[in-house]
Each structure stands twice: as C-alpha cells, then as structure tokens.
Chains A and B, each alone.
Chain A
Amino acid sequence: MSEVATGTFTPKPGGAPITQQVVAQALMEAKLMLRNGEQLLLAVVIPVMVLIGGVTAGNAIDLDLGTDRPLVDILTPGVLALAIMSTSFTSLAIATGFERRYGVIKRLGASPLPRIGLLAGKVLALGCVQLVQLFVIGAVGQILGWTPAAGFGTVLAFFLAIAMGTLAFASLGLFVAGVLRAEATLAAANLIYLLLLAGGAVVLPLTAYGAYGDVARWLPSGALGEAVRTAFLDGVPAWRDLGVLLIWAVLGSTLTARTFKWE
C-alpha cells in the first residue's frame, strides 16, 4: 500500500487472485444477507418458529403423520429443508433483483471479478448462510429432543440434499430475478415461498398430504424435504428425490441462461 501523495495514482493495475475475489464476494454477500432484517427473518426466525410451533402444537394435538417416529425427528429435517429453500430461492432472488436494480451487478461487471466468479461468490454466500441456519435450527431441534440418524451416510446424504436443493432453487431464483423487476421479484419470491411452505411438502412429509403427496414429490420443495428427511431418518441418500432436484436444476439453469440479463 502506498501513500496518498504525488505518485500515488501511478498505475499498477491487476485483478486479485480469483479465489480471493470469490471469497471477498461471498463474504460480502453473506454479511449483507445476515444484516438485513427481512432476510434474517426469512432465513432463521421463520424456520425456528415453524419448528417450535410445529413440534409443540403437533404434540399437543397428537398429530399423526403416518409414521411411528417422534414428531421432532420428522419436523426438524423438514424445517432444515425449508431454510435451505428460503435462502437459495427467496433470499437469492430478492437480493439479485435489487442488485440489478441498484446497478451493483453492472458495477461489478466493470471490476476484475468475472461473471463466473460472481456466481461462485453467490453460491458460496448461500453456503455460509446455510451453515448459520443449520447451526441454529439444529440446536433448537436438539433442545426439542431431535435425534438424527448417526454416521457417515447421514452426512453424505444431507450434503447431497443441500447441494442439489441449492442448485435447483438457486437456478429458479435467478430465473425469477432475471425476468421480473425488483419489486415484482420481491412479491413473487415471497409468494412462491409461502405457497411451497403450505403445500409443498417441505416441512411435512408426503404422507401427510394423502393422494396430493404423489404430486408434491415432483415439486422441488417436496423432493428437497424428502431428501433431507431420508438423510436424517434413515441415513441414506434419497436418490429418486435427488434426481427430481437435478431435473429442476437443469430446467432452472436452462431458463436462467436463456433469459437472465445482468443489468
């Protein structure tokens, strides 16, 4: 670093190493996301409330989900899936919509950070926020008596579910942010989130939906919910649901690649 005096501005251009750029971008985005009250509400507060409320109320009314597993063991993975969905779809779509609006993406477009680096930074930022969510929701689940399946299989299966779920929802979120104006993105992303929360088989298992469950399992929310539940209940990857998420990811990426405008 040099002094701000004569000769200060003598050109010495160059981009930072790409990994440094991506990490900087990811930390910046994660920080902004966690600092934003509405985003934090969506990412952490609502899932925790759903978990506590669901477990308490469910136990009080003796909710029957068609399995013999404790309710908390079913709801905690479901709420984790909800949290992944809220971050990778709703938060990402809203943030990107406003980045376009405020010219942030345009500004970064003139910096050394390439488009692919920006995208990588966004995915990494989602990962950071998801780590916070996992920690908080996992801790609340533990307090409520959650006992996940132990072992390497669980970790692998959960990792696959997060990865595929994030890919699917992030590509769909970017699609929404790319085609709609910022305010419309805000409205649409929240509405879709609420609809999927209520009828997407994300928090509650497919069995709770009766015949509709056969439809819901093809939704990205249903597939993600099942994949996370299978990981923590049975400790194995739910290949079929992961496959459904992959299809959504391909669909979302294709749509985004065709329609997304950076400005």
Chain B
Amino acid sequence: MAYGDKTAVDGLTLSVAEGSITAVLGPNGAGKTTTLETCEGYRKPQQGTVRVLGLDPIADRKQLLPRIGVMLQGQGAWSGVRAMEMLKHIARLHAHPLDVDQLAERLGLGECGRTPYRRLSGGQQQRLGLAMALVGRPELVFVDEPTAGMDPQGRRTTWELLRELRADGVTVVLTTHYLEEAEELADQVHIIDRGRMIASGTPLELTRGGATATVRLVVTKPFPPGARESLRKALGEDTEVTLLDERSIRVTGKADPTTLAKVSRWCEENDVLPESLTLGRRSLEDVFLDLTGGLQLSEGIEHV
C-alpha cells in the first residue's frame, strides 16, 4: 500500500485466528490504520491479497460489511446528532442488533445519551465509536486505537469488554500504540514499523528471555554521570546495561542469586534511591525497543 510515492505498508503478511484478540502494535505512522482500512475495504491493495472471513474486502464488500464491526479512529458521526440517536441509527441498519440501551449502559454512555456528538468528550466519542462497531453483533471487529484518549477507568472497561467479546466468540483485531494494552489483551501480537512486520507471536513468545534475565531499575533522581559503566563493572562483563532514559536502566545477561543484591549495593554506593527494581522476563517494551533500534524510533510509543 502506498500513498503517492510513500509506501505505507509493504510486504506485510499476517493472519488472524478466529475467536482471538490480535493486536497490531507499532509507533505512529507505522501503517496500522492503513492495514486495517485495507481489511475493511476502504483501500485497494496495489499488490497482494487480503481475505477477511474468506471474502475479498473490495469485490465481496456487500457480503462482508454486515459481518464485521468497524471502529474508526475518531469522528464518524454527525456533529448535531445525539449519542443514543446515532447508536440507534446504526442498530437499525442491522438485522439482529444488540439492545442499545444496555450496550450504552455497559459502555458508560448512559449519562450522555442526549448530548450532541460535538459536545461529547474524546473518551465518550471513543466509547460511542466502539458501541457502533459492536451493535450489529459482528463476527469480527476491527478497532483502531480503541482506548486512545480514554481515562484509566474507561480503558479498563474497554479491555473487559474486548475480553468478553473474545469469550463470546467474536474475533477482535485492534491496533494500538500502547504496549501494555497489547500485552494485557492480545493472544497474538504483530509488531509493525514503517509498514513492515518486525515481529509476531504471543506476548509470552515475544517476551521470553531464555536463560537471560532482565533487571529493570528505576530511580527517583537522574543517574549520576558514568552510572552505566560503573554498574556494568559491578555486575561483570557478561551483562549488558542499557540506559533507557535518565531515570531508568535495563540490565540483561546471566543472572545468579547475587545479581539483585549487586544492583542494590551499587545503588547504595552511588547514593541513588530506587523507585522500583524488578527482575523478570522482558516486557513487550524491551522487545519493541530492541527491534526498532532504540528510543528515537519509539517516540510514538506511550505507556498506559
């Protein structure tokens, strides 16, 4: 897929298992939305094939559309329409819609049902968008950054709902640039960057560190100069110490029972107060940073 001479998605191969949650993860501009919109039949691929529920999204659009639910990234409603009016309207276009009042209640849209769309908060607009995607009881839903702009409460409600969809046999494909969202929800994660797939697997597969351990140290004040080198010296040559930002360090390498103690002693000697010190498998963020080659590429990545 290209826009003009800019290639947005190139040579991407991914498939989605029925009844699962698949996350397409990547920084802003990675090609997540383009990928989704190609599946939804909005864009025609210049090369390659796309099959959704066995159908061609362009040629078989008429058969496909009633079976999928789509949540766009923002907007998608008249500015003067009331929230519930819009939801009811979409429901009327379907043969067996969900009960709109209960769906709205579930998504916390009860109190803003009579509010015109333009006066809804960003989070409310997102939740209405999700409700519109679900109301037709689709087999497959595409949700584009479902929790962008939501408060933590709304985010958790949405996560619960997406899990419930999976439990009820709905296939969910979501894009996100929140790493924790992918880690939290997805059965399968595809990481894409600049239109190419750079990794895919279950969150566990992606984060499995093998024999190596990862220690993450976050401190309250910026590290003193030379911290990376001195910590590496304290731990031995086999470890790799990466400065993630001015207040966090990641250590990977062979771990033994003394590793944590060594880090802790190093903190004491260097007069830094740990905010958190964790030992464990790599987080999806570590994987992502490794794959995309460092911080400058991950500017679009945010923490939940």
Does the CB pair A24–B138 fall under 8 Å? no
- The answer to whether B229 has its CB under 8 Å from any CB of chain A is no
Q: Which B70-120 residues have C-beta < 8 A from chain A?
A: 70, 72, 74-81, 85, 89-90, 92-99, 102-103, 105-106
Of B74, B103, B136, which one neighbours A103 at CB under 8 angstroms? B74
Does the CB pair B76–A10 fall under 8 Å? no
**B67, closest chain A residue (CB):** A13
A94 to chain B, nearest CB (A): 12
Note all chain A residues with C-beta closer than 8 A to B105.
4
Of B65, B77, B79, B168, which one neighbours A9 at CB under 8 angstroms? B168
Residue pairs across A and B with CB atoms within 8 Å: the count is 129
**B161, closest chain A residue (CB):** A9
**B104, closest chain A residue (CB):** A4
Does the CB pair B89–A24 fall under 8 Å? yes
- The answer to whether A111 has its CB under 8 Å from any CB of chain B is yes
Of B78, B90, B164, B165, which one neighbours A102 at CB under 8 angstroms? B78
Q: Main SS of the interface on chain B?
A: loop
CA distance A196 to B134 in the complex (A): 46
Contact A10:B81 (CB < 8 A) given known A103-B75, A111-B93, A112-B136: no
B114 to chain A, nearest CB (A): 13
Of A7, A28, A102, which one neighbours B79 at CB under 8 angstroms? A102
- The answer to whether A190 has its CB under 8 Å from any CB of chain B is no
Would you give the 0/1 interface string for B48-60, flagging 1 where the beta carbon is closer than 8 Å to chain A? 0000000000000
Note all chain A residues with C-beta closer than 8 A to B165.
9
Of B68, B70, B80, which one neighbours A35 at CB under 8 angstroms? B80
- The answer to whether A258 has its CB under 8 Å from any CB of chain B is no
Note all chain B residues with C-beta closer than 8 A to A107.
70, 72, 75-77, 132
CA distance A107 to B79 in the complex (A): 13
CA distance A64 to B289 in the complex (A): 83
Does the CB pair A110–B99 fall under 8 Å? no
**A31, closest chain B residue (CB):** B85
Does the CB pair B98–A4 fall under 8 Å? yes
Would you give the 0/1 interface string for A1-33, flagging 1 where the beta carbon is closer than 8 Å to chain B? 111101111111111110011001100100010
CA distance A104 to B78 in the complex (A): 6
- The answer to whether B139 has its CB under 8 Å from any CB of chain A is yes
Note all chain A residues with C-beta closer than 8 A to B89.
24-25, 28
Q: Which B147-183 residues have C-beta < 8 A from chain A?
A: 164-165, 167-170
Note all chain B residues with C-beta closer than 8 A to A17.
95
Note all chain B residues with C-beta closer than 8 A to A98.
78-79
What range describes how many residues of A lie at the interface?
Answer: 35 or more
Does the CB pair A9–B94 fall under 8 Å? no
B85 to chain A, nearest CB (A): 8
Note all chain B residues with C-beta closer than 8 A to A110.
40, 42, 65, 68, 70, 72
Does the CB pair B66–A32 fall under 8 Å? no
Would you give the 0/1 interface string for A101-125, flagging 1 where the beta carbon is closer than 8 Å to chain B? 0111011011111100000000000
- The answer to whether B62 has its CB under 8 Å from any CB of chain A is yes
CA distance A56 to B175 in the complex (A): 64
CA distance A9 to B136 in the complex (A): 9
- The answer to whether A234 has its CB under 8 Å from any CB of chain B is no
Does the CB pair A10–B78 fall under 8 Å? no
Of B66, B80, B167, which one neighbours A14 at CB under 8 angstroms? B66
Would you give the 0/1 interface string for A85-109, flagging 1 where the beta carbon is closer than 8 Å to chain B? 0000000000000110011101101
Note all chain B residues with C-beta closer than 8 A to A25.
89, 93
**B40, closest chain A residue (CB):** A110
- The answer to whether B137 has its CB under 8 Å from any CB of chain A is yes
CA distance A32 to B77 in the complex (A): 12
B6 to chain A, nearest CB (A): 18
CA distance A32 to B85 in the complex (A): 10
Of B42, B66, B106, which one neighbours A109 at CB under 8 angstroms? B42
Note all chain A residues with C-beta closer than 8 A to B102.
3-4
Does the CB pair B137–A10 fall under 8 Å? yes
Does the CB pair B138–A11 fall under 8 Å? yes
B96 to chain A, nearest CB (A): 4
- The answer to whether A67 has its CB under 8 Å from any CB of chain B is no
Would you give the 0/1 interface string for B115-139, flagging 1 where the beta carbon is closer than 8 Å to chain A? 0000000000000000010101111
Does the CB pair B99–A4 fall under 8 Å? yes
B138 to chain A, nearest CB (A): 5
A129 to chain B, nearest CB (A): 15
Does the CB pair B77–A11 fall under 8 Å? no
CA distance A107 to B128 in the complex (A): 12
Does the CB pair B72–A11 fall under 8 Å? no
**A262, closest chain B residue (CB):** B42
User: Can you list 6 A-B contacts with CB-CB less than 8 angstroms, sorted by A residue number?
Assistant: A1-B99, A4-B106, A6-B167, A11-B139, A17-B95, A112-B66
Kindly list 16 other residue pairs between chains A and B, CB separation below 8 angstroms, not including A4-B106, A14-B94, A111-B93: A4-B103, A7-B168, A8-B164, A12-B95, A13-B94, A13-B95, A13-B136, A13-B138, A15-B65, A24-B92, A28-B85, A99-B78, A102-B76, A106-B72, A107-B132, A110-B68
Q: B interface vs A, CB < 8 Å? A: 40, 42, 62, 65-68, 70, 72, 74-81, 85, 89-90, 92-99, 102-103, 105-106, 132, 134, 136-139, 164-165, 167-170
Q: Which 3 A-B pairs have the closest CB atoms?
A: A107-B76, A14-B95, A4-B102
